[in-house]
Structure 1
Amino acid sequence: MTTNLIVRNVDPAVARALKQAAAAHGRSAEAEHREILRAVLCQPSRRSFKDVLAAMPDVGTDEDFNARPR
């Protein structure tokens, strides 16, 4: 089931930004609006510390982080 959503009194700058983002992603402003709502509202509100650590890029080796004598 889908629902129609009407948003009134949108600031012109916000509408322009939506249209620009839609064009950059190759979709309509309406499709961009749906994607923004889905991405923001359908994701868990907080990531766990474990998820944050797991998302960090693998850079270097443990030796790269050893303290160096002064």
Structure 2
Amino acid sequence: MAQLLVRELEDDVAAGLRTLAAANKRSAEEEHRAALRAHVRDHLTGPKKRSFTEVLAAMPYFDDDPADLFEV
């Protein structure tokens, strides 16, 4: 397997990767691998199709007030 050394990575990006790793219950190194895999595969094969459940979960919630649905 190949190894990759990334120099001069911005502090906020490194911190973000650590935050994502903790949220995904992975090591920082595994989170880096997952991010690189997803980025490269998306560009080679197109983005992963989302399930209907994922699409619904990403939709905003508008309580019961119809005024929330439209800009006034």
TM-score under structure 2 normalisation?
A: 0.59
Name the count of aligned residue pairs. Answer: 50
Structure 2 counterpart of 1:28: 27
Higher-Rg member (1/2) = 1
Q: 2:40 is matched by which residue type in structure 1?
A: L
Structure 1 counterpart of 2:18: 19
Sequence identity percentage: 38
Q: 2:29 is matched by which residue type in structure 1?
A: E
Structure 2 counterpart of 1:37: 36
Give the secondary structure class of the aligned counterpart of 1:39.
Answer: helix
Question: Structure 1 residues 46 and 15, CA, compared in 2 at 3 Å: closer, same or farther?
Answer: closer
Q: Which runs of 5+ in 2 are unaligned?
A: 53-72
Structure 1 residue 56, shift from structure 2 partner? 7.5
Question: Structure 1 residues 12 and 39, CA, compared in 2 at 3 Å: closer, same or farther?
Answer: same
Structure 1 residue 13, shift from structure 2 partner? 0.4
Matches of 1:27 and 1:5, distance apart in 2 = 19
**Bigger proportion of residues as helix:** 2
Q: 2:7 is matched by which residue type in structure 1?
A: R
Structure 1 residue 46, shift from structure 2 partner? 6.1
Q: Which runs of 5+ in 1 are unaligned?
A: 58-70
Q: Kindly report structure 1 stretches of 4+ aligned residues shifted beyond 4 Å.
A: none
Structure 1 counterpart of 2:9: 10
Question: Structure 1 residues 56 and 10, CA, compared in 2 at 3 Å: closer, same or farther?
Answer: closer
